[in-house]
Amino acid sequence: MLKDSDISPPAQSRYVRSGAVAVCSGVLTSDDVRRIDSEHLWHPYSGFPSTTTPLVVDSASGVRLTLADGRQLVDGMSSWWAAVHGYRHPVLDAAARDQLDRMSHVMFGGLTHAPAARLAELLVSITPAGLDKVFLADSGSVSVEVAVKIALQYWRGRGESGRTKLLTWRGGYHGDTFAPMSVCDPDGGMHRLWTGVLAQQVFAPAPPAASDAAGIAAYVAEFEQVLAAHANDVAAIIVEPIVQGAGGMRFHDARLLVELRRLADEYGVLLIFDEIATGFGRTGELFAADHAGIAPDIMCVGKALTGGYMTLAATLCTTEVAETVSSSEAGGLMHGPTFMGNPLACAIAVASVELLLSRDWRAEVAAVADVLTERLEPARSLPGVADVRVLGGIGVIELTGAVDMARATAVAVDAGVWLRPFGRLVYAMPPYVCTEADVAAIADAMVAVARDHT
């Protein structure tokens, strides 16, 4: 058996492969990072050679990113909507250190541990009533994959294996693996490249932004027509409740969710809510489903689950759904990631959720919304702006034309803010712990980007 004294640190060395020399230890300069990055690293939704040069981040603390050149940027993105407590929060740092002293990982097959048990108990206690079975996934996309598998296996357990279709509304985004891609918008979404390869799902029109009763009734009737036409094929309805995120940052009325619950019950199909972006307070309620006071049969959460510290997501479902899945010919849900239930991620998730609940998060999100609403107002009068909208901790300026990513980033960075626009959208989802001045800086940078594009 190895003793601690038998383990020595690796020596400083260089590896040589195919004539290339790579430093395997030691400090990299900013130029080293940029060079290695450009030669070897894929970035999200990018190619080789990259059309942009990423900024090199040296550290992050509070709500600020510190670049390698010393500049500090207020983070308007919460690192893609996850870092709701900011960075290097002492409570989350302590949770990570404490768990590392016990174990960083152990397989979840045939084993269990306190962090997973505590997280499951916590999620069941705060999510909509009836969601009491928890599958711990390793990313948001995987949690949607699992939700789809659950829905399909549910109907196999019911002896109706012909129910293989998912019904969703257009304009959605659910992730980048194949099952989630199949329920993203098939025409305007980023995954239309895969048309003909993905499973063919059923799409209703995009939900309306209008909140008048007549408009809602008209849309629900249209949605029901689509459902009725595929009533024998549909396994589940799947939507992003209240906010369609990466598909366009569109908001819709909570009464639509009530109607979806009614239609799912009436037609005997499952209802799946993808709350990966909306969960843990982002919309002003703990979960977007809470705006409607209803519960889905299956729900996905992620992103803010660990406060941005670790990759972790969860798929929750009702006991009836779980037991029916388990009665199918497979005898259980056929999915099991290597890092399922990772103890380190679970421990941090418990600390993150408890930290959120210990603060007046509603007041924090409301304060973010108030500042965004006030400071984004000047954008409404700009000629190239189609819409300005705010919901909870989400602020959006929609342009009439496409955003120039490089220009937009440069304008925001010059203002001391980190933004990541896409499509026609300049948007922000700030950490909840931002000060009024922080949120004002973010909003002002958004307006500056919009003005630069007009």
Residues with active-site annotation? 45, 173, 274, 303
Contacts of 357 (CB under 8 A, 6+ apart): 126
Q: Is 72 in contact with 65 (CB distance < 8 Å)?
A: yes
Q: Which of 420, 403, 414, 418 is nearest to 454 (CA)?
A: 403
Nearest to 403 by CA among 415, 392, 412: 412
Backbone φ and ψ of 104, nearest 5°: -90, -35
Q: What is the DSSP string of 51-84?
A: SS-PPPEEEEEBTEEEETTS-EEEESSHHHHT-T
Residue type, 397: I
- Whole-angstrom Cα distance, residue 111 to residue 117? 11
Q: What tokens does 50 get?
A: 């990259």
395 DSSP assignment? E
- Residues of the chain by 3-state class (helix, strand, coil), percent to 5: 40, 20, 40
Please state, in angstroms and rounded to a whole number, the distance separating the CA atoms of residues 280 and 392. Answer: 12
Question: Sign of the C-alpha dihedral, residues 78, 84, 89, 95?
Answer: negative
133 neighbors 332 (Cβ within 8 angstroms): no
Q: What do you get for the CA distance between the two ends of the chain, in Å?
A: 68
* Burial of residue 360, with CB atoms counted within 10 A of its CB: 0-12 exposed, 13-18 middle, 19 or more buried: exposed
Alpha-carbon span 240 to 184, nearest angstrom = 11
Inter-residue contact 247 to 180 (CB < 8 Å): no
Helix (H) or strand (E) holding 446: helix 436-452
